[in-house]
Amino acid sequence: MKDLIVETAFGKVEGVVEDGVRVWKGIPFARPPVGRLRFRPPEPPESWSGIRDASAFGPSAMQRRAAPGMTVSEDCLYLNIWAPAADGRKKPVMVWIHGGGFMSGSGASPATWGTSFAREGDVVLVTINYRLGPFGFLHLAEIGGEEYEDSANIGLQDQVAALRWVRDNIEAFGGDPNQVTIFGESAGGRSVGLLLAMPSARGLFHRAIIQSGSITAFETADKASGYAAEMLRQLHVDKNSLAALQTIPAERFLEAAEELRLGVLLAPVPDGRVLPGMPLDQLAAGFSTDIPILIGLNLEEYKLNYFIEGIWKTLDERGKLERFRMMTEPYWSEVSAYYLERFRPDLPLDDRMIAMMTFHQFTFAALQMADIRARQGQPVWMYRFDWRSPLMGAAHGVDVPFVFNRVEHAPWNRPGTDLTNARRLALAMHRAWIAFARNGHPNAEPLPEWPAYRPGEEKVMVFDDVCSVEHDPYREERGVWEEALGRLGIEHRPRLIIEGQREDL
């Protein structure tokens, strides 16, 4: 296959052919964020002479529990491209932002390789890395003064830098820089929602897909600064001598964050600069109304926590209820009776509580965003992923290999698993995502017609062995929560608590 050597604005790269698709891996979209660039906004990469080998993935971002075989490094700002054969036509571009709670993940995960997007969808697929944990979200802007005033939300700034690189270079790989769709799941989906509300991202993408990404749980800048101050004390760094941060070994930052149990607390924060305000407020005010949105979630999002949090195996029914109460205060007193007495009484207690936590942490925010767009008369489509996998059900993240048409690489897949139905559903979802990137709507065979989500016509595509469209499937549940919030006189704000994370949100 020809055209494996491509010239970017910074130098030539040579890719490889894999499964009939052109692939370039490990292309730098910014300078290595080390030394003086640690905790600083990304800078354009340095140019190189000759031809850069792009046959291997670059390192993933620093993280405490990397996947087997994953190499991590502070020098992590690389992207990867899968493209169909060059034919002189500009292809739609899709940019994947990985999840992982802003603590982990990689643009090189086998479940999210873009082979099928390029081969079956005639799409150019890009995956990116961005700085995570303390390297991406240590809020030094209010501590470090003018020198660090742009250090907030560094991981989001990395994403913007990658999108700028795509805008300026993707045409050389056969992509259309004026037809870019961003999509992501979990922290990646949350990132997509944030990018919709960020001035620096304007014009860099044209469609957006949010998978299981709540954009309503945030710390204040003051609280985020408090976490940063704790990190400085743990590292024995004086706030007046922040240059010392440049010489501390990278692993020590991860250790300090773990010792302080900061976990997902190191995450994006509305800082008034990079992220001017609360994303839903920004969208309600009319920001990014020209961007079609596809948004959805999984039926049993919170079930993933039962697999990753050992504490649930140690609790009896009373202990579980107490923990659920703690995680949903002050809403528990208003909504618990609905889930304990009226919501699907045929289900075991654990499943009813999982439904409550799923609505609390994921569904409500997705509905709020869809409702805002629908009331504005702007195009938005909504879905729910109901297909239950072996072991994990329809838990958080189960949908990702379906979107990429790579269910063979799903974490729940085991030798001997019958993938017939999974493959059929994967192809349907895959085609819908491709249609959205190409046409601005997700209608594609073999799915039934998928209407837009509108006031009074809150249509939701349900992905399962048999896909169907339901009308406002959350009406009763949403009513319970909205009435509860009205009685409490407060806004909904989920508390994201996982094992080992502090509970002082």
Q: Across 9-87, where does the E strand assignment appear?
A: 11-14, 16-18, 21-28, 51-53, 78-83
Task: Extract the tokens encoding 178.
Answer: 């004026």
Do residues 361 and 302 touch, judged by C-beta distance below 8 A? yes
Residue 186 bears catalytic tag:
yes
Q: Across 67-148, where does the E strand assignment appear?
A: 78-83, 91-97, 124-128
From the candidates 142, 219, 301, 477, give the one annotated as an active-site residue.
Answer: 301
Burial class (CB within 10 angstroms; exposed 0-12, middle 13-18, buried 19+) of 491: exposed
Nearest CA-CA partner of 288 in 165, 210, 363, 378: 378
Residue 482 bears catalytic tag:
no
From the candidates 396, 430, 458, 477, give the one annotated as an active-site residue.
Answer: 396
Dihedral over alpha carbons 183, 292, 116, 66 (to 10 degrees): 0
Strands 91-97 and 207-211: unpaired
Residue 458 bears catalytic tag:
no
- List, in sequence order, the alpha helices (H) in 112-199: 115-121, 133-137, 154-169, 187-195
Q: How far is CA 270 from CA 100, 138, 191, 281, 387, in A?
A: 20, 13, 13, 11, 35
Dihedral sign computed on CA atoms, order 350, 356, 361, 363: positive
Alpha carbon 271 to chain centroid distance? 20
Q: Within a 13 Å sphere around the CA of 5, how many CA atoms are in the beta-carbon half?
A: 5
Alpha carbons 455 and 374: distance in angstroms, whole number: 6
Alpha carbons 58 and 78: distance in angstroms, whole number: 6
From the candidates 60, 109, 151, 186, give the one annotated as an active-site residue.
Answer: 186
Question: Which residues, in sequence order, are bridge partners of residue 72?
Answer: 60
Alpha carbons 244 and 34: distance in angstroms, whole number: 13
Helix axes 317-328, 349-358, angle to 10 degrees: 10
Q: Across 344-489, where does the E strand assignment appear?
A: 380-385, 459-463, 468-471
Rounded to 5 degrees, φ, ψ at 21 are -125, 140
Do residues 201 and 112 touch, judged by C-beta distance below 8 A? no
Do residues 158 and 41 touch, judged by C-beta distance below 8 A? no
Identify the H or E element spanning 374: helix 364-375
Do residues 127 and 114 touch, judged by C-beta distance below 8 A? yes
Q: Which residues are catalytic?
A: 186, 301, 396
